[in-house]
Homo-oligomer: A and B are copies of this chain.
Amino acid sequence: MRATVMYSAGDVRIENVPDARLIEPTDALVRVTRACICGSDLWPYKAMEPSETGIIMGHEAIGVVDSVGADVRHIKAGDFVVMPFAWSDGTCEFCHEGLQTSCVHGGFFGNAEIAGAQAEAVRVPLADGTLYALQGGKDEALTASLLTLSDVMGTGHHAAVAAKVAPGRTVAVVGDGAVGLCGVIAARRLGAEQIIIMGRHQDRIALAGEFGATDVVSERGEEAVERVRELTGGFGVHSVLECVGTEQSMHTSVSIVRAGGAVGRVGVPHYEAIPLAQPTFYSNVTVSGGPAPVRAYIEELLPDVLEGRIEPGRVFDRVVGLEEVPDGYRAMNDREALKVMVRP
Chain A positions within 8 Å of B, measured between CB atoms, are: 94, 97, 99, 101-102, 162, 250, 259-260, 262, 265, 268-269, 271-278, 280-291, 293
Q: How far is the CB of A101 from chain B (nearest CB, A)?
A: 7
Q: Can you give 6 contacting A-B residue pairs, CB < 8 Å? A: A268-B281, A273-B277, A280-B290, A281-B290, A284-B291, A286-B288
In the complex, the answer to whether A272 meets B283 with C-beta atoms within 8 Å is no
Contacts of A275 in B (CB 8 A): 272-273
Compute how far the CA of A277 lies from the CA of B97 in the bound complex, rounded to whole angstroms.
23
Compute how far the CA of A280 lies from the CA of B291 in the bound complex, rounded to whole angstroms.
10
In the complex, the answer to whether B99 meets A260 with C-beta atoms within 8 Å is yes
Copies of chain A in the complex: 2
Contacts of A265 in B (CB 8 A): 281
In the complex, the answer to whether B291 meets A101 with C-beta atoms within 8 Å is no
Q: How far is the CB of A271 from chain B (nearest CB, A)?
A: 6
Contacts of A97 in B (CB 8 A): 260
User: A102-B259, A260-B99, A260-B102 are contacts. A288–B284 as well, Cβ < 8 Å?
Assistant: yes
In the complex, the answer to whether B290 meets A94 with C-beta atoms within 8 Å is no
Q: How far is the CB of A291 from chain B (nearest CB, A)?
A: 6
Contacts of A268 in B (CB 8 A): 281
Contacts of A259 in B (CB 8 A): 94, 99, 102
In the complex, the answer to whether B274 meets A283 with C-beta atoms within 8 Å is no
In the complex, the answer to whether B283 meets A102 with C-beta atoms within 8 Å is yes
Q: How far is the CB of A229 from chain B (nearest CB, A)?
A: 14
In the complex, the answer to whether A269 meets B277 with C-beta atoms within 8 Å is yes
User: A269-B277, A274-B273, A275-B273 are contacts. A291–B282 as well, Cβ < 8 Å?
Assistant: yes
Contacts of A94 in B (CB 8 A): 259-260
Contacts of A285 in B (CB 8 A): 288, 290
Compute how far the CA of A276 lies from the CA of B273 in the bound complex, rounded to whole angstroms.
6
Compute how far the CA of A280 lies from the CA of B283 in the bound complex, rounded to whole angstroms.
21
Compute how far the CA of A285 lies from the CA of B288 in the bound complex, rounded to whole angstroms.
6
In the complex, the answer to whether A274 meets B287 with C-beta atoms within 8 Å is yes
